[in-house]
Amino acid sequence: RPGAQRWVPAEGDVDALRAAAPGCRGCELWADATQVVFSAGPSDARVVLVGEQPGDREDREGEPFVGPAGRVLADALAAAGIDPESVYTTNAVKHFRFVDRGKRRIHKKPGVAHLQACGPWLAAELAAVRPEVVLCLGATAARGVLGRAVRIGDVRGEVLEGEEAAPRVVVTTHPSAVVRLRGKPEFDAAFEEFVADLRAAT
């Protein structure tokens, strides 16, 4: 069976998971990426934030949310009164998927097969951290966490039922969607709505 399961240590704590993740060959995304990007933050966090996949900067640095989306996320967390260091941050897919455009690497959304293949890592993280709430950043993250497709507009800000390890799931927009509005009149409202979701979820 394809997927990450055979590389995920049974009963592993977050450090054991992180140590094993570079060996994962659960899908083809490892081959073109620079490195695996696992998670950041305390393994006893109350709140887990799940993004989509690492971006270009994250792929180079090996840390989640260190690029432009991470900047907006940190600003929004601070505005919501949440210490960014207090949350556990990870992604639904742990390797950067991209297409080459000359010198630039353009983000390509992970497919459902990648979400499924990488799902055992996320499940193991949630089982290890046992958070009070999982906040999904965007529809792809939500699909990875919930195992079904949801529309952000339909579920945004609601408390949804998750799995045993993480019974409360809230879905909001992806910070990249806010980044894209920078310099436009819609930016402030989008940022405030994102902050309101962070505040309500935690």
Where on the chain is the footprint of ligand URA (CB under 6 A)? 51-55, 58, 64-65, 67, 69-70, 91, 176
- Token readout for 174 is 């992806």
Residue pair 87/47 in contact by the 8 Å Cβ criterion: yes
SS3 162: coil
88 vs 121 by CB, closer to ligand SF4: 121
Work out what residue 54 binds among ligand SF4, ligand URA, none; the CB cut-off runs from 5 to 8 Å by kind.
ligand URA
Rg of the chain over all Cα atoms, to the nearest angstrom: 16
Tell me the closest approach of the beta carbon of residue 38 to ligand SF4, in angstroms: 9
Q: Which residues contact 145 (CB under 8 A, 6 or more apart)?
A: 50, 92, 122, 134, 136, 162, 166, 169
Work out what residue 30 binds among ligand URA, ligand SF4, none; the CB cut-off runs from 5 to 8 Å by kind.
ligand SF4
- Please report, as ranges, the residues that interact with ligand SF4 according to CB under 6 A: 4, 21, 24-27, 29-30, 36, 93-95, 114, 117-118, 121
The half-sphere exposure of 198 on its side-chain side, counting CA atoms within 13 A, is 27
Tell me the closest approach of the beta carbon of residue 130 to ligand SF4, in angstroms: 22
With the CA atoms of 49, 61, 111 and 181 taken in that order, what torsion angle do they form, in degrees rounded to the nearest 10?
70
Work out what residue 105 binds among ligand URA, ligand SF4, none; the CB cut-off runs from 5 to 8 Å by kind.
none
Work out what residue 29 binds among ligand SF4, ligand URA, none; the CB cut-off runs from 5 to 8 Å by kind.
ligand SF4
Number of helices (H), then strands (E), in the chain: 8, 7
Tell me the closest approach of the beta carbon of residue 116 to ligand SF4, in angstroms: 9
26 vs 175 by CB, closer to ligand SF4: 26
